[in-house]
Amino acid sequence: MPEVTYLEALRQGLWEEMERDERVFILGEDIGIYGGAFKVTEGFLDRFGSSRVIDTPISEAAIVGAAAGAAHMGLRPVAEMQFIDFVSCAYDMLTNYVATARYRTGLATPIVVRGPSGGYVRGGPFHSQMPEAAFFHTPGLKIVCPATARDAKGLIKAAIRDDDPVLYLEHKYLYRRIKEDLPQGEELLTPIGKARVAREGTDLSILTYSATVWKALEAAEEIAAKDGASVEVIDLRSLVPLDDAAMVESVKKTNKVLIVHEDTRTGGVAGEIAARINEQAFEWLDGPILRVTAHDVPLPYASTLEDFVLPQTADIVTAARRLLAY
């Protein structure tokens, strides 16, 4: 099994779906001739031609709106946001048009909007965002956040085949840092809405997604080595739908919950997860539900500032120890 990066896995998934289904096409800024700012779509123009690999103007609202229109007609567009930070320019299209179309008119809008999210890369306030909370709040959109190369591939393929609009939030820190042996020649599909146990444990559950899965795993390793405690790490993979059953099952086993995400704290996804556990598994808790998140500031540029603001492995260890003491 060849070792492939997270980025290459995503690229393979997209490629395979375009080979499999001629209704699939991609559109976005600089994705054709240039192959994308991060080269996710390198080689696609040569293989699939300019009618299925469309270089667009700098128009996020039009990219998403046009994808929606084409999807109504039975096509399967995958729209790239060059950096996911710019999806806010299409916020109206996604929340008012795309998310409501099926509910109001019965029309399917099977689009995928994907792009590089996340920090730890010194990108500054406009090339580092995690946008999930703004869309997590909107009924009618699915959100997936792969942490592994396998899921980068499996989730893009599942997202393209899904009959609902899907926001696919890849993490640019993971693009070339994560490598994995992936089977070739067999279909890799990750079901949307199913969490994954990234590490089994018995004393504490860490619920997380995207790049912080890896930080949670590092923290779990450190705690196992230094404290002798057993930490379970759940990689949520999908935020909408959220896998309540997997979260509750883990809580019933460990009785302690730490939620970790890279996004800012107030109004972040962790608050919703905490509320659900409170509603569904209160009797099983032996301590408060804690959160490790970014601080509530725009994400700054300088390495010292960014490292301070974003959740680090040491923060997760600190929070886990506080919880383990209950």
Q: How far is the CB of 281 from other proteins (least distance, A)?
A: 15
Choosing from 59, 202, 303, 318, the residue that interacts with other proteins (CB under 8 A) is 59
Judged by CB under 8 A, does residue 206 bind other proteins?
no
Helix runs in 21-167, H state only: 44-48, 60-72, 91-92, 99-105, 132-136, 149-161
Of 135-143, 249-257, 260-268, 311-319, which part binds other proteins (CB under 8 A)? 135-143
Neighbours of 203 (CB within 10 A): 19
> 137 catalytic, yes or no?
no
Residues within window 249-308 making contact with other proteins, judged by CB under 8 A: none
- Three-class SS state of 287: coil
Nearer to other proteins, 73 or 225 (CB): 73
C-alpha 49/C-alpha 71 separation (Å) is: 19
CA 193 to CA 209: how far, in whole Å? 13
Between residues 61 and 121, which has the closer beta carbon with respect to other proteins? Answer: 61
Among candidate residues 144, 264, 270, the one with its CA nearest the CA of residue 195 = 144
**One residue of 70, 156, 273, 310 binding other proteins per CB under 8 A:** 70
Provide the b/e sequence for 278-289 (b: ≥16 CB within 10 Å).
eeebeeebeeeb
State residue 167 phi and psi, 5-degree precision.
-90, 120
Give, as one character, the DSSP assignment of residue 249: H
User: Which window, 9-17, 137-145, 252-260, 302-310, contacts other proteins (CB under 8 A)?
Assistant: 137-145
* Per CB under 8 A, 25 contacts other proteins: yes
Interface with other proteins, residue 73, by CB under 8 A: yes
Please tell me whether residue 66 binds other proteins under the rule CB under 8 A: yes
33 binds other proteins (CB under 8 A): no
Among residues 5, 69, 267, 287, which is the contact residue for other proteins, using CB under 8 A? 69
Phi then psi for 114, rounded to 5 degrees?
-130, 160
If the CB atoms of residues 149 and 242 are measured against other proteins, the closer one turns out to be: 242
Question: Judged by CB under 8 A, which stretch of 8-16, 97-105, 249-257, 303-311 contacts other proteins?
Answer: 97-105
Structural tokens at position 34: 């240039």
Residues 159-178 touching other proteins, rule: CB under 8 A, are 162-164
Residue with smaller CB distance to other proteins, 277 or 319: 277
Catalytic annotation, pick one of 127, 171, 261, 295 = 127
Q: Say whether residue 202 binds other proteins (CB under 8 A).
A: no
Contact 198, 151 (CB under 8 A): no
Looking at this protein, which amino acid is placed at residue 186?
E
Residue 94 touches other proteins, criterion: CB under 8 A? no
DSSP string computed for 93-135: IIIIIIHHHHHHH------EEEEEE--SS---TTSS---HHHH
Indicate which residues carry an active-site annotation: 127
Q: Which residues bind other proteins (CB under 8 A)?
A: 25, 51-52, 54, 56-57, 59, 61-75, 77, 92-93, 96-97, 100, 102-108, 139-140, 142, 162-164, 241
